[in-house]
């Protein structure tokens, strides 16, 4: 499992620490901030993608979310200014910061309404993630993940059926609470059934309707595979 040291060891010196004042660009593997760090405000992702995660003392990594353009990062620091989460860029990303002062006092042209709205959205996404992790089969989890990602793209006006995932299979596995091998296998199953096409990180969704019904638990992804087995 990757840990903080790994990443920090191999990244370029760019963006070493969060000296972000207003607008800045960070490179893949650069940290926006690390868990336990005091933040100066909330970050807003303008482009690229960021992974949010925590590591326990014993080195277990937990991924709490993947962020894309428009998302707020560091909301959990609202409690006392310190984030319990680390944020690392997966792609080259453009980021701006909203200082805590602005948030608390309601600064110049800070869109408060929108900020509150985003908090609700974040909370809802967390809830969805939680629901997915409770008592669900691997095929549903993966289907859910792909749909979430596709929907996110669609809401940003991008193509929801053909895209490139910014994260590794291991990241997906951790996020979904599964083993890497399980993610690979389930993805392979979806391909076998003609629901998606994959080429490494590149994903093409061929049958969105079926993918959604798998996600809802109406049908099982391994249905075909099982039918073949039982026929034998």
Partner DNA sequence: CGCGTTTTTGATCTAACTCAAGCTTTGTGG
Partner DNA sequence: CCACAAAGCTTGAGTTAGATCAAAAACGCG
Instruction: Choose the one of a copy of itself, DNA, none that binds residue 60, judging by a C-beta under 5 to 8 angstroms depending on kind.
Output: a copy of itself
Q: Which of residues 77-106 bind a copy of itself (CB under 8 A)?
A: 77-80, 84-85, 103-104, 106
Least distance CB 152 / DNA (angstroms): 19
Residue 46 φ then ψ, to 5°: -95, -30
Q: Which residues pair with 82 in a beta bridge?
A: 38
**Sites for DNA among residues 78-137 (CB under 7 A):** 135-137
Region 151-210 residues binding DNA, contact defined as CB under 7 A: 168-170, 177-182, 184-185, 187-188, 198-201
Q: How far apart (Å, rounded) are the C-alpha atoms in residues 200 and 158?
A: 20
Q: Assess 124 for contact with a copy of itself (CB under 8 A).
A: yes
Rounded Cα distance between 219 and 232, Å, is 21
Q: Which is nearer to DNA, 22 or 200 (CB)?
A: 200
Which entry of a copy of itself, DNA, none binds 139, CB below 5 to 8 A by partner kind? DNA
Supply the Cα-derived Rg of the chain in whole angstroms: 19
Residue 229 binding DNA, by CB under 7 A: no
Among 36, 101, 123, 164, binds a copy of itself (CB under 8 A): 123
Residues that bind DNA (CB under 7 A): 2, 6, 10, 135-139, 168-170, 177-182, 184-185, 187-188, 198-201
Residues in touch with a copy of itself (CB under 8 A) = 54, 56-58, 60, 62-64, 75-80, 84-85, 103-104, 106, 112-113, 116-117, 119-124, 126-127, 129-131, 133-135, 174-178, 216-218
């Amino acid at each position: 499992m990757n840990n903080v040291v790994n990443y920090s060891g191999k990244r370029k010196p760019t963006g070493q620490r969060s000296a972000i004042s207003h607008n800045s660009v960070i490179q893949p593997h650069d940290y926006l901030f690390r868990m336990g760090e005091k933040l100066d405000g909330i970050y807003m992702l303008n482009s690229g993608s960021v992974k949010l995660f925590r590591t326990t003392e014993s080195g277990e990594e937990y991924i709490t979310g993947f962020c894309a353009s428009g998302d707020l990062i560091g909301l959990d620091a609202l409690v006392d200014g310190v984030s319990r989460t680390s944020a690392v860029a997966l792609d080259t990303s453009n980021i701006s910061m909203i200082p805590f002062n602005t948030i608390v006092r309601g600064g110049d042209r800070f869109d408060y309404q929108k900020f509150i709205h985003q908090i609700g959205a974040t909370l809802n996404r967390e809830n969805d993630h939680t629901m997915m992790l409770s008592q669900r089969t691997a095929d549903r989890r993966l289907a859910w993940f792909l749909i979430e990602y596709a929907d996110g793209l669609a809401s940003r006006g991008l193509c929801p059926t053909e895209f490139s995932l910014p994260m590794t299979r291991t990241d997906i596995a951790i996020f979904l609470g599964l083993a890497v091998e399980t993610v690979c296998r389930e993805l392979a199953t979806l391909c076998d059934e003609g629901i998606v096409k994959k080429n490494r990180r590149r994903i093409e969704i061929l049958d969105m309707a079926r993918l959604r019904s798998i996600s809802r638990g109406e049908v099982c992804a391994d249905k075909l595979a099982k039918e073949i087995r039982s026929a034998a």
